[in-house]
Amino acid sequence: MELKKGRLLCCERVDSLVALVLLAFSLISCSRQASKSPEPRGMSLEELQQMLKIDVHAHISDFGNTGEEQFIALLEKHNFKWLDICVVGTEWEKLQRKVTLAEMFHRTYPLRIAWATSFNLTNWGNPAWEKSALAMIGQGFARGAVAVKFWKEIGMVLKDPNGRYVMIDDPRFDPLFDLIQKNGKTAVAHIGEPYNCWLPLDSMTVDGDRRYFKEHPQYHGYLHPEIPGYWEQIKARDNVLAKHPGLRVVGCHLGSLEFSVDELAKRLDLYPHFAVDTAARIVHFQVQDREKVRNFILKYQDRLLYGTDNDVGRGGTDLADDLKGCEEVYRRDYRYFATDQEIELPEIRANFKVRGLALPAPVLKKIYYENAVKWFPGI
């Protein structure tokens, strides 16, 4: 009898222990589920259009006596401010016109237009080059410029008298980087070209690149083996990032690492002072795996800035066509970032479709506005 009673007590204890273990696992599971808060809601297309946004990579090329009102009306319709980026240093007269135009638009429409200056490269090799470049940058800052543009001509066009290509990590650019850092401004770097640039036309991943390099063969690296190669361009830019850890740098066009979010992630991990804009490279997100790209954006949401490379007032084009093109880009990008709709993208190739990313509202706010304010103080 005593033995039977002992067995019963033992079974009761085992049952109690099992119940306690199950309860503990249940509580842990509930705790984990509670700590895993649901992803924040997204935004409707209307909300995104109405929200204040900054396009950190755009160009005002030229304007006649008309067109300003229509242009500003477009920005107001979509509640955008533009960062007008001035290029090209190897075309001095053109650069001067762009700077004058940028200053004028910024003075007239300070709530809609910010600008980035650049510097003359036609006098490269002249003993007075450094002094004149620093003076132009300083004048730009005094007139409201928030950044300085370094363009792909460095590494792909500019040469020393001996015929050697000048790369962005050339120490002669160090005083410029130092001045930018000292003034709390930002270096905007378009160094190199997309990976497609060093491929034959029929091997390129998107029709947009194929069309661009067909129309601009002077920049098609595949046709010019004398131009430093893709990875040489990237290495030179990375050298600048390593050499100037206190300098804020925004890499244009996804930092010319558009073909691989893995390669881009490596640089973002290595260089906390480096961010990138999306200008003219969103299509390269769209040819990569959707979930991989979405996870990349969520992880690096503080380092991505919305830009388009939109250009208005280009010589030989109709302003109405320019403005129509700008609006088409904005609406297409709204759909890609804010919805999970299926989007047809003929600029990648005929009949190509992709599903939107449906990003959370806080991420959209960062990409479209908050990161620009952080990476371009004074914008």
Residues 115-144, mean pLDDT to the nearest whole number: 98
126 has pLDDT over 50? yes
CA distance 12 to 6: 10
Are 130 and 252 found together in one domain?
Answer: yes
327 has pLDDT over 50? yes
3-state helix, strand, coil in the chain (%, to 5): 50, 15, 35
Are 215 and 322 found together in one domain?
Answer: yes
Give the pLDDT score at 316.
55
Alpha-carbon 262 to chain mean position = 16
107 has pLDDT over 90? yes
CA distance 145 to 106: 9
CA distance 105 to 108: 5
Tokens 């992709």 appear where? Answer: 354
pLDDT tens figures, 30-43 = 455 445 567 789 99
Are 345 and 309 found together in one domain?
Answer: yes
Which residue in 307, 220, 204 sits closest to 255, CA to CA?
307
28 has pLDDT over 50? no
Are 97 and 21 found together in one domain?
Answer: no
Quote the number of domains for the chain: 2
Are 139 and 267 found together in one domain?
Answer: yes
Beta strands in 262-371 (DSSP E): 274-277, 304-305, 310-312, 342-344, 353-355
Phi-psi region of 313 (alpha: psi -120 to 50; beta: other; left: phi over 0): left
Q: How many residues make up the chain in this entry?
A: 379
> Using 50, 70 and 90 to split pLDDT, how confident is the model at 62?
confident
Residues 1-5, mean pLDDT to the nearest whole number: 48
Give the pLDDT score at 161.
93
Are 231 and 98 found together in one domain?
Answer: yes
Residues 43-67, mean pLDDT to the nearest whole number: 92
Residues 278-284, mean pLDDT to the nearest whole number: 98
Give the pLDDT score at 70.
93
pLDDT tens figures, 219-238 = 999 999 999 999 999 999 99
Enumerate the β-bridge partners of residue 149.
188
CA triple 299-84-371, angle to 5 deg: 20
Give the least confident one: 188-197, 318-327, 337-346: 318-327
pLDDT tens figures, 239-265 = 999 999 999 999 999 999 999 999 999
CA distance 48 to 42: 10
> Using 50, 70 and 90 to split pLDDT, how confident is the model at 13?
low
> Using 50, 70 and 90 to split pLDDT, how confident is the model at 17?
very low
CA distance 353 to 334: 16
Residue 368 DSSP one-character state: I
Give the pLDDT score at 63.
74
Enumerate the β-bridge partners of residue 16.
none
Are 22 and 143 found together in one domain?
Answer: no
Are 201 and 247 found together in one domain?
Answer: yes
| Domain with 284 in it | 46-375
Are 69 and 7 found together in one domain?
Answer: no
Are 160 and 309 found together in one domain?
Answer: yes
pTM of this structure: 0.90
CA distance 280 to 209: 10
CATH at residue 356: 3.20.20.140
CB distance 99 to 86 below 8 Å: yes
Are 28 and 66 found together in one domain?
Answer: no
